[in-house]
Amino acid sequence: MSLIKPHGSDELNPLFVYDPAENEALQKKAEKMVSVVVSSAAAANAVMLGGGYFNPLTGYMNKADALSVANGMKTTSGLFWPVPVVNMLHAANGIKAGDTIALKDPNREGNPILAVMDVQAVEEFSDAEIELICEKVYRPNHKEVHPGVDTFKAEGKVILSGPIKVLNFSYFQDEFPDTFRTAVEIRNEIAERGWKKVVAFQTRNPMHLAHEELCHMAMDRLGCDGLVIHMLLGKLKKGDIPAPVRDAAIRKMVELYFAKNSAMVTGYGFDMLYAGPREAVLHAVFRQNMGATHFIVGRDHAGVGDHYGAFDAQTIFDNEVPAGALKIEIFKADHTAYSKKLGKVVMMSEAPGHVKEDFVLLSGTKVREMLGQGIEPPKEFSRPEVAQILIQYYQSLPK
């Protein structure tokens, strides 16, 4: 049985220039080209395109495609896609259609060249079009600040579209050499391990007992022979735990509590969008591209605060994703927690006759306070070996 096909094509089409001689020659050429320092979001898009995660896209979308995707989750040619993949600037600075330009990395010192782009169009969004994209993709609640909307609006209104060739993976490969993996590499490793049914788990936080048990539950119920824990390594929000600490905590959990050859710990280079349901669909698209057959979507997936409904990121797959648009299947999860009555972690919706007090529930704030004071959360909440890694981190912070 062969691996699940990537989205929109038979073979994965990563936009990274893998041939070392070709990469070096293009790098030299790029140094003489007109260049532009792109936004962090555009750089993250380039990294995802380079690694094959955004297959079958060949570069940045033009205005018509971006608006079509925002409006109806498909490009003008009919390709299913959940969020615009764009390169937006504040000004074109003389760049015009037909130019080949160098895209510089905003996230590394000296702004080295990240990719080369053949500019097919230079267009501009109107204020109304920017608002429409925000409305459709982020579904903002106008009473509160939305980090995804703020980031998007800060990128400018000029949109450069066209195919790209990616020359490196920004800071991700250097800073996370053991964890950052492209969709190509994950596909290859899944094949090498001989896994047929593979479930992916998205995280931007350390995994406590409830997350660990949710992964075991999904694997058991789906009959999976492999789990890919796939960490977001890009820009997060203030107060989130840094990736190296998360990485160490997750690796310790897998080493001690998962069967050998049943779980892979990996990460990808992308900035969090906080786009809730639409981002959950994007997560499913690129997990299919990396070879997963199933993807866990939990409560408040890719959300921010209580901005989206608890299960909006699940219902979008039923109500808005056309049948057959994706080959990957969704494993819908509720909050998991330790039941004092049953003496194990359960999905809260599957525990009849329970009241809130029957579960071991701790807020993020409470857990951070405990860890900061060197206190291990109860073993029904967190593995002691994981808690120790987090305690060391929190105690190292300036008081």
Residues recognised as catalytic: 204-205
Instruction: With H, G, I as helix, E, B as strand and everything else as coil, classify residue 125.
Output: coil
Distance between CA atoms of residues 135 and 367, nearest Å: 34
User: Sign of dihedral through CA atoms 148, 81, 160, 30?
Assistant: positive
Element housing 166 (H / E)? strand 158-166
User: How many helical (H) and strand (E) elements, i.e. helices and strands, does the chain have?
Assistant: 13, 15
Contact 117, 87 (CB under 8 A): yes
**Distance of alpha carbon 102 from its chain centroid, rounded?**
25
Q: Of 367, 385, 365, 364, which is closest to residue 375 (Cα–Cα)?
A: 367
Q: If you ran DSSP here, which 8-state letter would residue 398 be given?
A: -
Beta strands at 59-60 and 158-166: parallel, antiparallel or unpaired: antiparallel
Phi and psi at 291, nearest 5°, equal 105, 5
